[in-house]
Amino acid sequence: MSRSEQIDASKLKGVPTSYSSVGWSLLIIGVVLMLVAFAINVRHASFSLIMTLTYVATIGTGALFWVGTEYVSSAVWSTALRRPFEFMAGVIPFLFILVFPLLFNLHTIFTWTHKSLFATDPTMLVRAPYLNVPFFIIRTILVIGVWCLFYFLIIRNSKLQDTTRDQRLTKRNVNLSAGFMPVFAITLTLFTVDWLMSLAPNWTSTVFAVYVFAGAALGAMAFGTLLIVKLNEKNRFPVKLTPDHYYNLGAFLFAFINFWAYIAFSQFMLQWYGNLKDETAWYIPRMHGSWAVVSIVLVLGEFLIPFFMLVSRAAKFNPRRLVFVSVWLLVAHAIDIYWLTMPEYNSSGAVFGLGEIAFLFLSAGIVLAVFAWKAKKNNMVPIGDPKLERGLEFHL
Amino acid sequence: MSEKRLYGLAAIFDTPEKVVAAARAVAGRGFTKYDSYSSYPIHGIDSAMRLKRTRIPFVTLVAGLSGAVLLVLFTWWTNSVDFPLVIGGKPYFAWPDYVPLMFEMTVLFGAVSTVIALLVVWLNLPRNSHPLHDTEFMKKVSKDRFGICIESDDPRFNEIETRRFFEDLGAESVDSIYDEPVDISLRQKVLDPKFIAAIVVVAVVSSATTYLALNKMLLIRPWSSLNAQFKVNPESRSTFYSDRFGMRPPVTGTVARGHLPDPITVSDNIAAAEKYLVNPLLPTPHVMQVGQRDFNTYCSPCHGYFADGNSRLQGQFPSPPSLHTDSLRLAPDGLYYNVITNGFQGVMPSYARQIPRKERWAIVWYIRALQKAQNPNGPEAK
């Protein structure tokens, strides 16, 4: 079959209008709620905005990671599925807008900005050259800037290929993606250390960035699977995907559920076993009171239940199951970020207020609205990619 | 040799497309006992053969989960119930420790059971050979041809019709495969002196090598690194401590686990101890049982089972007094404790080394019970 027969040109651009309208309404409600939350309690709302920032950043960079992985590994099967991930990565430039109000609020969010801590605590004194406001702002802008740079370069080459069909662009993107991988590891580490780990400035965990990365890759894969399977089942995807494509998406979800659990448990067990004051101080609030309930919900929600939902071979072929698990995992990813962030706001018990609702609305709104917007402007399938035909004929 | 039995008909095809089409036709005819052979996996053959999903993943899942569960039960029983050990200051049931082990056991049980299930199902154990072994058919399909073999057990099998059916499908050749039971007699070879000599030589050489490796080689540098560690061995000199003792005494005031310190050191001040020491135990059934057991073991040989001096060793040793006298019934608990601990007037020895402190107090409770049984309305009853 030739390429023109495989692709339904009428479906190349755009997604159902409901994506855009739902996305924008969620986004507007989220912004309004967030503004109200800021009017009520600046500290609480700032934490909610950090959660939103983390959620959007993990989905966006996770998607860019999957795009890069596809190039670096020269994967063929996923060529037709790459564009949805490129659209999802489109949220990366908007991180600047999300981070902007926070940069003016650092003193209300981070305890390490309080100079009195540095005077009394020797461990904080050691961290002073790294944890200070000017360097923090420089790092944040640098990290998001680097992400934007790679996003624009990789996506530009990919889009250019739609018209020029130049095979050298693939080669160029392979090199770019290979460069992006180590850069992504370093920048994500900086981002997570700055925005999540420094909420508890005395606590350290060397595996923390890997933990957040596992959640990012899982969240991005869940969102991508949700969109791809939904569009294909509604017959809105410009090419016909086979159940084998579904299987691979499900297998990736399953793999990253396990990877997330592995990293989460490694971090927990080493710190629990070491039983050092500075390390366990982070886990103690999360293991008592209502936070313990959140922890158990997280273990069930991001590992045990989806594990058994996806473990069988038939489940990974089943589009309804994949859609359900994807939505489930996106919610679990939100709980994960809530669990990482909010115990530092209130260690005595779980909090749920306007800020958390705003976080959910805003995060879902941003990722969905940006996806719909990008899908409207660009082709849903990389029609110029030399790997596309073989990718469509993929069999397990 | 028994008679030849027709095992089945094996057809050779020269392209994978043909074998897929043939498999589809064979399945369409309603054959069930057949298999297709190829030296590499062919896309689409599964659906062409209408193969059902294998049940082996189910075996893996069940075996893996039971591995995890068994590990939890085993570790819980050994570490928390049968022989509670404190490791690293963690609780007896330290479940996070078990998770890596659970993972390992899940993998181990899952993998081993999968392999065993595969062997049982696929090799049809305990059968140890297959009629297709060593046939021209098998040689061809492991090289550059593709084949299908229909077994004669299949209800739709008919030698002539099936052969024609294969030929209509475009088979390159169709072979009849016969099931010949192989007579395997090993006796001659086993009793061959050369064979026995070889076995003996292998046994001696491997034993000697193992012995030399484990007992000699490992003690020579550089393999002896584990022997020559920078550490203090038990009961050896140390240059680190000023008193040159490698083994360190416990810090002054260290209390052993399960040890009951006395509020007053008995040997220091006997009078005060007798007066002020109070039995720290409550007379629970368990305490009374321990007291009875220890009394019968350590006290009764001289004092008798009823503490009246009527004992098995009467006459061989100075007879101890009955414990049912008025003065002894009114004596404080501390007196009994002190006598058990330090002995009495050089006649009764000290039992401090035999009986732990808690059990001495249990004996005191048992003596009180014996006294009350003899004198229910005695002066101490109030």
The continuous run of DSSP H or E covering B175 comes out as strand B173-179
Distance from the B79 Cα atom to the nearest Cα atom in chain A, whole angstroms: 17
How far is residue A94's CA from residue A147's CA, in Å, rounded to a whole number?
Answer: 11
Residues A13, A159 contacting (CB under 8 angstroms): no
Does a structural domain hold residue B196?
Answer: no
Instruction: Please indicate whether, in this complex, the C-beta atoms of B61 and A268 are within 8 angstroms of each other.
Output: no
Lowest mean pLDDT among A82-96, A238-252, B131-145: B131-145
Bridge partners of residue A379, in order along the sequence: A13
**Partner residue opposite B88 with nearest CB, options A273, A313, A314:** A273
How far is residue A30's CA from residue A36's CA, in Å, rounded to a whole number?
Answer: 10
Bridge partners of residue B10, in order along the sequence: B149, B175
Say yes or no: A311 contacts chain B, CB-CB below 8 A.
Answer: yes
With a cut of 90, say whether residue A67 has pLDDT above it. Answer: yes
Does a structural domain hold residue B280?
Answer: yes
Identify all chain B residues contacting A268, using CB atoms and an 8 Å cutoff: 96
| Same domain flag for B175 and B278 | no
| Same domain flag for B26 and B143 | yes
Instruction: Please indicate whether, in this complex, the C-beta atoms of B53 and A268 are within 8 angstroms of each other.
Output: no
For residue A37, which phi and psi values (nearest 5 degrees)? -60, -40
Confidence at residue B192, expressed as pLDDT on a 0 to 100 scale: 82
How far is residue B118's CA from residue B116's CA, in Å, rounded to a whole number?
Answer: 5
Instruction: Please indicate whether, in this complex, the C-beta atoms of A269 and B89 are within 8 angstroms of each other.
Output: no
Say yes or no: B100 contacts chain A, CB-CB below 8 A.
Answer: yes
DSSP B106: H
Confidence at residue A395, expressed as pLDDT on a 0 to 100 scale: 80
Does a structural domain hold residue B190?
Answer: no
Digitized pLDDT (tens) for each residue of chain B, 382 residues in all: 456 788 888 999 989 888 999 999 988 888 888 889 999 888 888 888 888 888 888 899 999 999 999 999 999 999 889 988 888 888 888 888 899 999 999 999 999 999 998 888 777 666 667 888 888 889 999 988 999 999 888 888 888 888 898 888 888 888 888 887 665 565 667 778 888 999 999 999 999 999 999 999 988 888 887 777 777 777 888 888 888 888 888 888 787 776 766 666 656 667 777 777 888 888 899 999 999 999 999 988 888 888 888 888 877 877 788 888 888 888 888 888 888 888 888 888 889 888 988 899 999 999 999 988 888 776 655 4
Does a structural domain hold residue B56?
Answer: yes
Confidence at residue B382, expressed as pLDDT on a 0 to 100 scale: 44
pTM: 0.73
How many structural domains is chain B composed of?
Answer: 2
Confidence at residue A134, expressed as pLDDT on a 0 to 100 scale: 93
CB pairs under 8 A between A and B: 21
The token pair at B54 is 């294998």
- Domain carrying residue B174: 1-184
Q: What is the largest distance, in Å, between two alpha-carbon atoms of chain B?
A: 116
Identify all chain B residues contacting A313, using CB atoms and an 8 Å cutoff: 53, 57
Q: From B184, B214, B238, give the residue that closes a domain.
A: B184
Instruction: Please indicate whether, in this complex, the C-beta atoms of A273 and B96 are within 8 angstroms of each other.
Output: yes
Average of pLDDT values for A33-43?
94
Query: Taking all residues of chain A, what is their mean pLDDT, rounded to a whole number?
Result: 92
Mutate to test the interface with A, among B60, B99, B101, B106 (most CBs of A within 10 A): B99
Residue in chain A nearest B96 by alpha carbon = A269
How far is residue B254's CA from residue B276's CA, in Å, rounded to a whole number?
Answer: 24
Instruction: Please indicate whether, in this complex, the C-beta atoms of A275 and B89 are within 8 angstroms of each other.
Output: yes
Confidence at residue A375, expressed as pLDDT on a 0 to 100 scale: 92
Confidence at residue B264, expressed as pLDDT on a 0 to 100 scale: 60
| DSSP per-residue letters across B300-314 | HHHH-TTSSS--TTB
Q: From B184, B210, B235, give the residue that closes a domain.
A: B184
ipTM attached to this prediction: 0.80
Distance from the A269 Cα atom to the nearest Cα atom in chain B, whole angstroms: 6
Does a structural domain hold residue B229?
Answer: no
**Partner residue opposite A268 with nearest CB, options B53, B88, B96:** B96
How far is residue A346's CA from residue A349's CA, in Å, rounded to a whole number?
Answer: 6
Confidence at residue B181, expressed as pLDDT on a 0 to 100 scale: 64
Identify all chain A residues contacting B88, using CB atoms and an 8 Å cutoff: 273, 275
Does a structural domain hold residue B208?
Answer: no
Say yes or no: A104 contacts chain B, CB-CB below 8 A.
Answer: no
With a cut of 70, say whether residue A184 has pLDDT above it. Answer: yes
Q: From B140, B169, B184, give the residue that closes a domain.
A: B184
CATH assignment of the domain containing B283? 1.10.760.10
How is chain B split among helix, strand and coil, in percent rounded to 5?
A: 50, 10, 45
Confidence at residue A3, expressed as pLDDT on a 0 to 100 scale: 62
| Same domain flag for B288 and B178 | no
How big is the CA angle at B348 (ends B345 and B354), to the nearest 5 degrees? 130
Confidence at residue B1, expressed as pLDDT on a 0 to 100 scale: 42
Residues A23, A394 contacting (CB under 8 angstroms): no
Does a structural domain hold residue B4?
Answer: yes
The token pair at B227 is 């022997």
How far is residue A20's CA from residue A95's CA, in Å, rounded to a whole number?
Answer: 20
Does a structural domain hold residue B2?
Answer: yes
Say yes or no: B52 contacts chain A, CB-CB below 8 A.
Answer: no
